[in-house]
Structure 1
Amino acid sequence: MEFDEVLRRRRMVRTYDPDRPVPPEIVDKLVKHALRAPSAGFSQGWGFLVLQSPEDRALYWSSTTDSGAEADSWLQRMSSAPLIIVALSNKSVYLERYAQPDKGWEDRAESHWPVPYWDIDTGFAALLIHLTAVNEGLGSLFFGIPPEKIASFRAAFGVPEEFMPVGALTVGYKAEDKRSPSLRRGHRPVDEVVHHGRWNA
């Protein structure tokens, strides 16, 4: 698929065909493409938890959500996805990388970082998973884990403390979906968000 077409087709999909698993070669491609994301200092401080079995997926939903979701809710529809990939960042990898001689931040202070690049870079990697899914004819959705559920998620899957879940992606073959009401807002006009030379020019 041409890149322009991938971008045209890209959207967040919340309903999946539960009877069509994602082929292993595509799962492999999704993760390998994530590793092509840029990272500050080529630190690559990320990790990906791939959940495919019904047991693992059920454990994910039970550890990250409250029971009793309405049958027609977006969360209930999303749980039909045959694949979940959780993208996690590791700040300590970046602090160690930038303490090396070619960078020189030996104090490992977070204050050197104007924004948390470990999270940004992991977000880039998640976007590559999302776009690869679209390119392979699949649907995908990126969403967050509620802060109050991170501890139960960690415990359920044995995730080390240094890894922070930045978000998760559901992936699968699209089923008939409901359009999000948010889409009625439309895209913001280019001239509202793009500024050339000076912000107010």
Structure 2
Amino acid sequence: MEFAEVVRRRRMVRDYDAERPVPPEVRERLLEHAVRAPSAGFSQGWAFLVLESGEERDRFWTATTDGGTPDAWLTRMRRAPLLIVPFSNKQAYLDRYAEPDKGWTDRDESRWPVPYWDVDAGMASLLILLTAVDEGLGACFFGVPPDKVAGLREAFGVPEEYRPVGCLSLGYPGDGDRRSPSLRRGRRPLDEVVHRGRW
């Protein structure tokens, strides 16, 4: 598929065919492409928790939701046969920029205008989303509620220095996938969001 077509087809999919697992070679391509993302100073302060078995996925949903009867969104999302949780590691960036070729030996976080550790993990996530389209998969990036992060860490033994930037559900789209009502807003045109030469 041409790259322009991959970009045009990219959308969030919220229902999956639970009977069709993601083939191992496709899963590995998703991850191999993720680590090709740019990272400040080539810090590569990301990590990916891959959850494929039913037990692993159930443990994720138990740790990150309130329990009870799942609503329609969660019912459809839980069908995804593959979850990938991208994490960022701020310390990897602070340590990298304290190395001789960078020279910020104080590891002062205030030097960073934005948290590039999260930005870079987000770029890696986008490469997973684009690869999913190219492989004929559906995918959705969604957040982990802040009050559920500790439970996620405990459920999977995630070290404290790693912060989840979200989660990617992946699989072949199911019959119940519907376009998000948010899409009714329409895509903002370029002349609204692009400022050429000055604001």
TM-score for the superposition, normalised by structure 2:
0.98
* Structure 2 unpaired stretches of 5+: none
SS at match of 2:84: strand
Residue type of the alignment partner of 1:179:
R
Q: Which residue of structure 1 aligns with residue 42 of structure 2? A: 42
Q: Which residue of structure 2 aligns with residue 172 of structure 1? A: 171
Q: Which residue of structure 2 aligns with residue 163 of structure 1? A: 162
Tell me the number of residue pairs that the alignment of Structure 1 and Structure 2 aligns: 198
Percentage of matched positions with identical amino acids = 67
TM-score for the superposition, normalised by structure 1:
0.97
Q: Which residue of structure 1 aligns with residue 111 of structure 2? A: 112
Structural RMSD (CA): 0.8
Query: d(CA) in 2 for partners of 1:69 and 1:11?
Result: 27
Q: 1:28 to 1:140 in 2, by over 3 A?
A: same
Q: Which residue of structure 1 aligns with residue 192 of structure 2? A: 192
Contact 1:45/1:93 (8 A) holds in 2:
yes
Query: d(CA) in 2 for partners of 1:165 and 1:141?
Result: 15
Q: Which residue of structure 1 aligns with residue 137 of structure 2? A: 138
* Structure 1 unpaired stretches of 5+: none
SS at match of 1:5: helix
After the TM superposition, which residues 32-71 of structure 1 pair with which residues of structure 2 at under 5 Å, given as runs? 32-71=32-71
Residue type of the alignment partner of 1:21:
P
Q: Which runs of 4+ in 1 moved over 3 A?
A: none
Residues 89-121 of structure 1 deviation map (CA, whole Å, 9 limit, x = unaligned): 000000000000110100000011000000000
SS at match of 2:165: strand
Question: How far apart are residue 163 of structure 1 and its match?
Answer: 0.2
